[in-house]
Amino acid sequence: MIDAADLTARLIRCPSVTPEEGGALVLLGDMLHQAGFETHRIDRGGTPNLFARWGAKGRPALGFNGHTDVVPPGDLGSWTHPPFSGHVEDGLIWGRGATDMKSGVAAFTAAAIDFITETPPDGAVILTITGDEEGPSTHGTSAIIDWMEENGERMQACIVGEPSNPDAMGEMMKIGRRGSATYRIRATGLQGHAAYPHRARNPLHTLTRYLNDLIAAPLDSGSDHFEPSGLQIVSVDCGNPASNVIPERASAVVNIRFNDLHTAASLAEELTRRAAVLGDETGVVLNIDADVSGEAFVTEPGPFVDLVRDVVEQQTGRRPILSTSGGTSDARFIKDLCPVVEFGLVGHFMHQVDERVPQAQVRQLKMIYQRILERFFA
């Protein structure tokens, strides 16, 4: 049997800060190949990725997804133990990625190998592991999915092993995620002297009116599986060092986390419509550019969601809440391939100095994944 806690410590010792592979995918690829998995490195655009399948292509397959890249450790002197030491003490594993999410990858890798070794299923087990989830994610899981589609690889369902529980194992599983889009607003007016505003068109006055209109009322009241959408102004700038000059240009950035009542395109259309109305009134031109991280999606409750939920309850004594909270994850790519849910560890210490995780929790997660595999192929 593979100890998922020990594997977590070994993975932490691989310094895989995005986009560096750091040896983590090599370690996992070797383990999986030795266990009988067919493995492929699917590197694209300088991003390392790993695909592994046990069982014949085309057979009913359960998939797992995760990432081995981690955020930078910050000030090394602030750590109790070096961030890439994988130090183990008093039942805790210390290091960058201990929570997010080398432990989750270790748990489903160990569960998959032990499962196919002890009880080989009439089907396939697929692992998709990327080296870029914490960064731009342009050539990470999306590259693996592109490769799968080109090569006829299919999953009937998938579990993303991201930390999903706020405070205790079994509290929560994710069945969807809000969409995320960033909109950059550029206002162009007419520069002039601050003492003669009638000879200028102040882009800041128009831009601030526009922003105030955006936050004056909620975008919606939520939907069946989602909380209300949220819009946050995250930047306003004009780059003007002079107090006696009305600037020609100003800009702002807003981020919208939206539910399934909207799409990134429908929001862009509404923002552009409002900009045109105000521009006609003031003579200041407002242009909108969009950067979309992902659309809102939900995996409707049904047999697969119930299977995962039942196993989690059996193993933890808690029936997890079905949630769509939080930021984006790579589930936003997998949703186009098959039903997907997220279940992993407790999310304490993610991205923090002294990131750490209890060994017992990692071993419990491995057992949950192994029981899910058993139920899926029963």
Which amino acids are annotated catalytic?
69, 133
Q: 98 vs 3, 95, 141, 258, CA distance in Å?
A: 15, 6, 21, 30
Instruction: Kindly state the helix (H) or strand (E) to which residue 333 belongs, with its residue range.
Output: helix 331-334
Instruction: Say how far apart CA 364 and CA 314 lie, in whole Å.
Output: 12
Residue 101 CB-density burial (10 A; 0-12 exposed, 13-18 middle, 19+ buried)? buried
Would you say 207 and 282 are in contact if contact means Cβ atoms under 8 Å apart? no
47, 214, 58, 49: which is closest to 122 by C-alpha?
58
Would you say 298 and 225 are in contact if contact means Cβ atoms under 8 Å apart? yes
193, 180, 25: which is closest to 109 by C-alpha?
25
* Residues making up the chain, counted from first to last: 378
Instruction: Say how far apart CA 46 and CA 21 lie, in whole Å.
Output: 10
Would you say 15 and 69 are in contact if contact means Cβ atoms under 8 Å apart? no
Instruction: Say how far apart CA 198 and CA 10 lie, in whole Å.
Output: 67
In 72-178, which ranges are E strands?
A: 88-89, 92-94, 124-130, 157-160, 172-174, 176-177
